[in-house]
Amino acid sequence: MAQHFHLISCISTLFLLLLVPSNSENLKAKKPRPFGFLNHLQGCKKGENLAGLRELKQYLSKFGYLNYNFSKGPKNDDFDEVLEAAMKKYQANYNLKITGTLDPETLSKMVMPRCGVPDIINGTTRMKNTKANHRHRNHRPKKLHTVSHYSFIPGYPRWPAGKTHLTYWFDLTTTHPTAIPPFVRAFDKWTTLTQYFSFEETSDYEASDIKIGFERGAHGDGSSFDGQGGVIAHAFAPTDGRFHCDADELWSIGAIEGYMDLESVALHEIGHLLGLGHSSVEDAIMYPSIPSGVVKDLHADDIGGIKALYNI
């Protein structure tokens, strides 16, 4: 067991060194975490005015819980009724005690590394899958699992009927070959457990259905990365096919404290590529956040979501 772990550690370290450009700073240099600004806000509640609350509003807006116009940034640091309502919605989605305050349990969830895809898109999607989520929609799946907690991207974007074999392409200018096997294993798991989709790597960029790469900061898709420990990856709904990982993260192959397991993250983002939204089941791969050093796999909730979406 010890030898096996040592081997994983060596492979992971090699992968990290090869992935990050040689002129980068020390991989483990301590820098402010993207969500670290939340820490000094612990315990804040309605009626308070506290420096940093506007950043909390930006955070909740980024992930779909607020609809403020932030083109010029939040206008104040007031903890008002709108912010309290957003906090309660967040707590409900994450199965937390609904207090409306930034209590310790809520804070621990909010600072965790997570997917960049919002939990709520255009104010119409929640992480919980109920009949109410599906009323008055066209082309909806026939199977509504009201006891499940997966969700779908608004409008139910799906790959066309008959389009079950998808090709994927790696941007080798940003993705070192050492990083490729975890993606391949993730695609294989979706193939095995859905018994519907199959995937194949291609070198043809134009013809590929899915395009994978590692990016930093603003990279032209309107969804910037923010460095280590914040947004770790994002992917777009069918049939867009773009899938980006944050090159500034500390990535690993396997469970290593302080590093993000690439295969687990790939499994999550492939779910978005197929049309799944976020789940409120913490063990599901489509749960929005994942701690460093944790390895996850597909869950019955994830498979149930795909089968419901595609009427399998």
Q: Is 269 a catalytic residue?
A: yes
Nearest to 201 by CA among 174, 180, 173: 180
- 268 exposed, middle or buried (CB, 10 Å; 0-12, 13-18, 19+)? buried
Q: Where is the binding site for Zn(2+), in residues?
A: 115, 219, 221, 234, 244, 268, 272, 278, 286
Q: Where is the binding site for Ca(2+), in residues?
A: 209, 226-227, 246, 249
Residue 296 sits at the vertex; the CA angle it makes with 62 and 15, to the nearest 5 degrees, is: 85
Q: Report in angstroms the alpha-carbon separations of 279 from 35, 210, 219, 225.
A: 21, 23, 27, 22
> What one-letter code names the amino acid at 267?
L
50: left (phi over 0), alpha (psi -120 to 50) or beta: beta
Q: Where is the binding site, in residues?
A: 115, 209, 219, 221, 226-227, 234, 244, 246, 249, 268, 272, 278, 286
Q: Report in angstroms the alpha-carbon separations of 161 from 188, 196, 197, 242, 312.
A: 21, 11, 11, 20, 11
Which helix (H) or strand (E) segment is 282 a member of? none
Which helix (H) or strand (E) segment is 259 a member of? none
3-class DSSP state for residue 5? helix
Give the C-alpha separation, 290 to 299, whole Å.
Answer: 14
- Among 48, 55, 105, 269, which one carries the catalytic annotation? 269
Cis ω on the peptide bond leading into residue 239 (within 30° of 0)?
yes
Give the C-alpha separation, 257 to 262, whole Å.
Answer: 13
8-state DSSP, 74: -
Q: Active-site positions?
A: 269
